[in-house]
Structure 1
Amino acid sequence: MHKAANAYMQTKVTTTTPGHLVVLLYDGAITFLEQSKEEILAKNYAKKGILISQALDIIAELDGSLNTDKGGEIAQNLHKLYMYCNTRLLQANLKMDTGIVDEVIGILSAFRSAFSEISNNQAYQAPPKAASYYAR
């Protein structure tokens, strides 16, 4: 079952648009953070730390994908917000504070909604099929 789920996710990631991929990353980070809150309440601190680390990895990936040359001020502001989220999650991890985790979930959820709206409104152009290329 685990292999089938991984295969499905791999297919989903490789066949989606860049905008939808960003939405999937936000979904993953939010899911990990929701799970980390449950682990804080259950006093399973090791698992909480792993889940917050996974969310931090996703935020780092989102931050690393920013193009400050083309994105200009928007990319710079997103970078600052990602750094803020990182700082807050490190504090939440140390203080076992679900309120701080909720704050970051709120920020990421707002970004997720914005990227989802943008990616749904953009027309996706599929790359040309090999047959049409060779039919010339």
Structure 2
Amino acid sequence: MQAVQAYLNTKVSTASQKDLVVLIFESAIRYLKQAKEKIKEKDYAQKGILISKALDCIAELDASLNMEKGGDIAKNLHALYFYCQTRLLQANMNLDPKKIDEVISILQQIGTAFAEIKNSSA
């Protein structure tokens, strides 16, 4: 376990800003997929922790937006992130995996776009 943590720490500390954004999307999606499993297992405490971690990821993505330079794109992403957070809070309260799936889909689409931008500018 320590080797995995050391690898992750190195990966994060050596990543570019664009790489970090992609990693945050991947982490949020991974947490949400795990949360869906916890709902199936009726492990509601762990489900709540995983959704909270995904919410933290989305909050980090939202905080990284440059509203001055980003214009309409930043405003639209802010609105999408807010929508995702709202849906996850509803999913958490109602044990609703469909709402989690909706957020996963949104995050995958935005994350894929960021990855494509990152790869095209490399």
Per the TM superposition, whether the score is higher than 0.5 is yes
Distance in 2 (CA, whole Å) between partners of 1:54 and 1:34 is: 12
Q: Structure 2 matches for 1:1-136, cutoff 5 A?
A: 2-123=1-122
Greater fraction of residues in helix: 2
Distance in 2 (CA, whole Å) between partners of 1:96 and 1:36 is: 10
Structure 1's unaligned 5+ residue stretches are 124-136
Kindly name which structure, 1 or 2, has the bigger radius of gyration based on alpha carbons.
Answer: 1
Q: How far 1:3 sits from its partner (Å)?
A: 1.8
Distance in 2 (CA, whole Å) between partners of 1:96 and 1:5 is: 31
Q: How far 1:19 sits from its partner (Å)?
A: 1.1
Distance in 1 (CA, whole Å) between partners of 2:9 and 2:39 is: 30
Q: How far 1:11 sits from its partner (Å)?
A: 1.1
Q: How far 1:9 sits from its partner (Å)?
A: 0.9
Structure 2's unaligned 5+ residue stretches are none
Amino acid of the residue matched to residue 78 of structure 1? L
Q: How far 1:8 sits from its partner (Å)?
A: 0.8
TM-score by length of 1: 0.87
Measured against aligned partners, the alpha-carbon deviations of 1:27-52 in whole angstroms (never above 9, x if no partner) come to 00000000000000111111100000
Distance in 1 (CA, whole Å) between partners of 2:83 and 2:98 is: 15
What is the CA RMSD across the aligned residues, in angstroms?
A: 0.7
